[in-house]
Amino acid sequence: MNLPTILYRGDSDSSGIRLLKDNVNKNQLFTNLINGGQGREIIEKPIIELINKHVNVGWHYTHFLSFSEEIEVAYKYGLGKNNVNNYFCEEYFKDDRNWTFALIEMFVKEIEITELSKGVFHCKYDSSLLVSDKKCNILLLDVCRYLEQFNGFDLSKHNSKRDKEWLVFPAQTVKLKTGNEFSARLDTGNIFRIKRIAEITSGNNL
Protein backbone atom coordinates (compact mmCIF):
# COMPACT_ATOMS: atom_id res chain seq x y z
CA MET A 1 0.00 0.00 0.00
CA ASN A 2 1.37 3.37 -1.03
CA LEU A 3 0.12 5.58 1.79
CA PRO A 4 1.27 9.05 2.86
CA THR A 5 3.44 9.23 5.96
CA ILE A 6 1.47 12.10 7.54
CA LEU A 7 -1.97 13.57 6.92
CA TYR A 8 -2.88 17.09 8.05
CA ARG A 9 -6.01 18.87 9.24
CA GLY A 10 -6.50 22.53 10.12
CA ASP A 11 -9.49 23.08 12.41
CA SER A 12 -10.62 26.37 13.93
CA ASP A 13 -14.08 25.13 15.01
CA SER A 14 -15.23 28.76 14.71
CA SER A 15 -18.83 27.92 15.64
CA GLY A 16 -17.80 25.83 18.65
CA ILE A 17 -19.70 22.75 17.46
CA ARG A 18 -16.88 20.29 18.10
CA LEU A 19 -15.71 21.90 21.37
CA LEU A 20 -12.18 21.89 20.01
CA LYS A 21 -10.66 24.30 22.53
CA ASP A 22 -12.24 22.40 25.42
CA ASN A 23 -10.94 19.03 24.29
CA VAL A 24 -7.59 19.77 22.69
CA ASN A 25 -5.71 18.52 25.77
CA LYS A 26 -8.01 15.55 26.44
CA ASN A 27 -6.75 13.27 23.66
CA GLN A 28 -10.01 13.48 21.77
CA LEU A 29 -11.60 15.12 18.76
CA PHE A 30 -15.23 15.27 17.73
CA THR A 31 -17.00 15.23 14.37
CA ASN A 32 -20.03 17.39 13.59
CA LEU A 33 -22.15 14.38 14.49
CA ILE A 34 -21.91 15.71 18.06
CA ASN A 35 -24.25 18.53 16.99
CA GLY A 36 -27.34 16.29 16.78
CA GLY A 37 -26.73 13.98 13.82
CA GLN A 38 -27.80 10.38 13.41
CA GLY A 39 -24.93 8.00 14.10
CA ARG A 40 -26.63 5.14 12.26
CA GLU A 41 -26.73 7.04 8.94
CA ILE A 42 -23.30 5.69 8.12
CA ILE A 43 -24.71 2.17 7.80
CA GLU A 44 -28.15 3.06 6.46
CA LYS A 45 -26.99 5.04 3.42
CA PRO A 46 -24.45 4.27 0.67
CA ILE A 47 -20.99 5.47 1.60
CA ILE A 48 -20.62 7.21 -1.78
CA GLU A 49 -23.69 9.32 -0.98
CA LEU A 50 -22.24 10.39 2.37
CA ILE A 51 -18.80 11.16 0.93
CA ASN A 52 -20.39 13.29 -1.79
CA LYS A 53 -22.49 15.03 0.85
CA HIS A 54 -19.38 15.85 2.87
CA VAL A 55 -17.03 16.84 0.03
CA ASN A 56 -19.48 18.61 -2.28
CA VAL A 57 -22.90 19.49 -0.85
CA GLY A 58 -21.89 20.17 2.76
CA TRP A 59 -23.05 18.08 5.71
CA HIS A 60 -23.84 19.86 8.98
CA TYR A 61 -23.85 16.55 10.89
CA THR A 62 -20.96 14.91 9.09
CA HIS A 63 -19.47 11.74 10.53
CA PHE A 64 -16.11 12.50 8.87
CA LEU A 65 -13.07 14.62 9.62
CA SER A 66 -11.24 15.90 6.53
CA PHE A 67 -7.48 15.58 6.23
CA SER A 68 -5.05 16.40 3.43
CA GLU A 69 -1.71 15.16 2.19
CA GLU A 70 -0.61 18.82 1.98
CA ILE A 71 0.09 20.89 5.08
CA GLU A 72 -0.67 24.07 3.13
CA VAL A 73 -4.25 22.86 2.68
CA ALA A 74 -4.54 22.37 6.43
CA TYR A 75 -3.37 25.94 7.00
CA LYS A 76 -5.83 27.22 4.41
CA TYR A 77 -8.81 25.64 6.16
CA GLY A 78 -7.46 26.41 9.62
CA LEU A 79 -7.11 30.09 8.79
CA GLY A 80 -10.26 30.16 6.66
CA LYS A 81 -8.33 31.84 3.84
CA ASN A 82 -7.68 30.75 0.26
CA ASN A 83 -4.19 32.24 0.17
CA VAL A 84 -2.05 31.57 3.21
CA ASN A 85 1.27 32.75 1.80
CA ASN A 86 1.08 36.14 3.53
CA TYR A 87 0.36 34.80 7.01
CA PHE A 88 2.87 33.92 9.68
CA CYS A 89 1.84 31.23 12.17
CA GLU A 90 3.62 29.45 14.98
CA GLU A 91 2.84 26.86 17.62
CA TYR A 92 1.21 28.33 20.72
CA PHE A 93 2.36 26.95 24.08
CA LYS A 94 0.62 29.18 26.62
CA ASP A 95 -2.11 27.46 28.60
CA ASP A 96 -5.08 29.52 27.49
CA ARG A 97 -7.47 29.79 24.56
CA ASN A 98 -5.84 32.64 22.62
CA TRP A 99 -4.83 30.56 19.62
CA THR A 100 -6.24 30.62 16.11
CA PHE A 101 -6.66 26.99 15.12
CA ALA A 102 -5.40 23.46 15.69
CA LEU A 103 -3.07 21.75 13.27
CA ILE A 104 -3.78 18.04 13.59
CA GLU A 105 -1.19 15.60 12.28
CA MET A 106 -2.05 11.95 11.70
CA PHE A 107 0.95 9.62 11.57
CA VAL A 108 -0.31 7.04 9.12
CA LYS A 109 2.76 4.79 9.12
CA GLU A 110 2.31 4.09 12.85
CA ILE A 111 -1.16 2.55 12.41
CA GLU A 112 -2.17 -1.08 11.87
CA ILE A 113 -3.88 -0.82 8.47
CA THR A 114 -5.90 -3.24 6.33
CA GLU A 115 -7.17 -2.22 2.90
CA LEU A 116 -10.82 -3.30 2.65
CA SER A 117 -11.45 -2.08 -0.89
CA LYS A 118 -10.14 0.54 -3.28
CA GLY A 119 -9.40 3.64 -1.22
CA VAL A 120 -10.98 2.26 1.98
CA PHE A 121 -8.76 1.26 4.92
CA HIS A 122 -9.56 -0.17 8.33
CA CYS A 123 -7.15 1.19 10.94
CA LYS A 124 -6.46 0.10 14.51
CA TYR A 125 -4.28 1.74 17.14
CA ASP A 126 -3.87 1.91 20.90
CA SER A 127 -6.26 4.04 22.93
CA SER A 128 -4.91 7.12 24.74
CA LEU A 129 -6.60 5.87 27.92
CA LEU A 130 -3.94 4.14 29.97
CA VAL A 131 -6.54 1.96 31.69
CA SER A 132 -7.87 0.67 28.38
CA ASP A 133 -6.55 -2.41 26.63
CA LYS A 134 -8.91 -1.86 23.71
CA LYS A 135 -7.92 -0.84 20.22
CA CYS A 136 -9.39 2.23 18.56
CA ASN A 137 -10.98 1.64 15.18
CA ILE A 138 -11.33 4.13 12.35
CA LEU A 139 -12.02 3.99 8.64
CA LEU A 140 -9.59 5.97 6.52
CA LEU A 141 -10.81 6.95 3.05
CA ASP A 142 -8.63 8.07 0.15
CA VAL A 143 -11.37 10.20 -1.43
CA CYS A 144 -9.76 10.66 -4.85
CA ARG A 145 -9.02 6.98 -5.29
CA TYR A 146 -12.42 5.92 -3.98
CA LEU A 147 -14.35 8.26 -6.30
CA GLU A 148 -12.47 7.01 -9.36
CA GLN A 149 -14.71 3.93 -9.32
CA PHE A 150 -17.88 5.94 -10.01
CA ASN A 151 -19.30 7.91 -12.91
CA GLY A 152 -20.41 11.44 -12.11
CA PHE A 153 -19.66 13.20 -8.81
CA ASP A 154 -17.55 15.62 -10.85
CA LEU A 155 -17.46 18.44 -8.29
CA SER A 156 -16.54 16.07 -5.48
CA LYS A 157 -13.77 14.65 -7.64
CA HIS A 158 -12.51 18.15 -8.40
CA ASN A 159 -12.61 19.23 -4.73
CA SER A 160 -10.91 16.11 -3.45
CA LYS A 161 -8.12 16.31 -6.05
CA ARG A 162 -7.58 20.00 -5.31
CA ASP A 163 -7.29 19.33 -1.57
CA LYS A 164 -5.68 15.86 -1.82
CA GLU A 165 -8.42 14.91 0.60
CA TRP A 166 -8.72 11.96 2.93
CA LEU A 167 -11.56 11.31 5.37
CA VAL A 168 -11.39 9.80 8.83
CA PHE A 169 -14.46 8.09 10.28
CA PRO A 170 -14.38 7.07 13.99
CA ALA A 171 -15.71 3.51 13.87
CA GLN A 172 -16.53 3.20 17.57
CA THR A 173 -20.07 2.49 18.75
CA VAL A 174 -21.97 3.85 21.74
CA LYS A 175 -25.02 2.40 23.46
CA LEU A 176 -28.15 4.57 23.29
CA LYS A 177 -31.76 3.93 24.25
CA THR A 178 -32.55 3.55 20.56
CA GLY A 179 -29.74 1.02 20.07
CA ASN A 180 -26.07 1.14 19.15
CA GLU A 181 -24.86 4.03 17.01
CA PHE A 182 -21.48 5.23 15.87
CA SER A 183 -19.78 7.75 18.11
CA ALA A 184 -18.85 11.35 17.29
CA ARG A 185 -15.71 10.98 19.43
CA LEU A 186 -12.29 10.21 18.03
CA ASP A 187 -9.71 8.94 20.52
CA THR A 188 -6.44 10.41 19.24
CA GLY A 189 -4.30 7.69 20.80
CA ASN A 190 -0.63 8.16 20.02
CA ILE A 191 -1.05 8.57 16.26
CA PHE A 192 -2.69 12.01 16.16
CA ARG A 193 -0.70 15.03 17.33
CA ILE A 194 -2.55 18.29 17.94
CA LYS A 195 -0.67 21.59 17.75
CA ARG A 196 -2.27 24.85 18.83
CA ILE A 197 -1.41 27.43 16.19
CA ALA A 198 -1.45 31.21 16.58
CA GLU A 199 -1.78 33.58 13.63
CA ILE A 200 0.80 36.23 14.51
CA THR A 201 0.78 38.83 11.76
CA SER A 202 0.58 39.27 8.00
CA GLY A 203 3.35 40.07 5.61
CA ASN A 204 5.49 36.95 6.06
CA ASN A 205 5.50 33.53 4.48
CA LEU A 206 4.65 30.31 6.29
pLDDT tens digits, one per residue of 80-106: 887 777 778 899 988 788 899 999 999
Answer for the pair 79, 101: CB distance below 8 angstroms, yes or no: yes
User: Where is pLDDT greater, at 197 or 41?
Assistant: 197
In a domain, 107, yes or no: yes
Answer for the pair 164, 140: CB distance below 8 angstroms, yes or no: no
Of the listed ranges 83-92, 97-106, 135-144, 177-186, the least confidently predicted one is 177-186
In a domain, 161, yes or no: yes
Domains contained in the chain, number: 1
pTM score of the predicted model: 0.90
- Strands (DSSP E) contained in the chain are 6-11, 28-30, 65-68, 87-91, 101-107, 112-117, 120-126, 135-142, 165-170, 173-176, 179-182, 185-187, 192-202
In a domain, 1, yes or no: no
pLDDT tens profile 42-57: 888 899 999 999 998 8
Give the pLDDT band of residue 192 (cuts 50, 70, 90): very high
Structural domain boundaries enclosing 57? 6-202
How is residue 47 annotated by DSSP? Answer: H
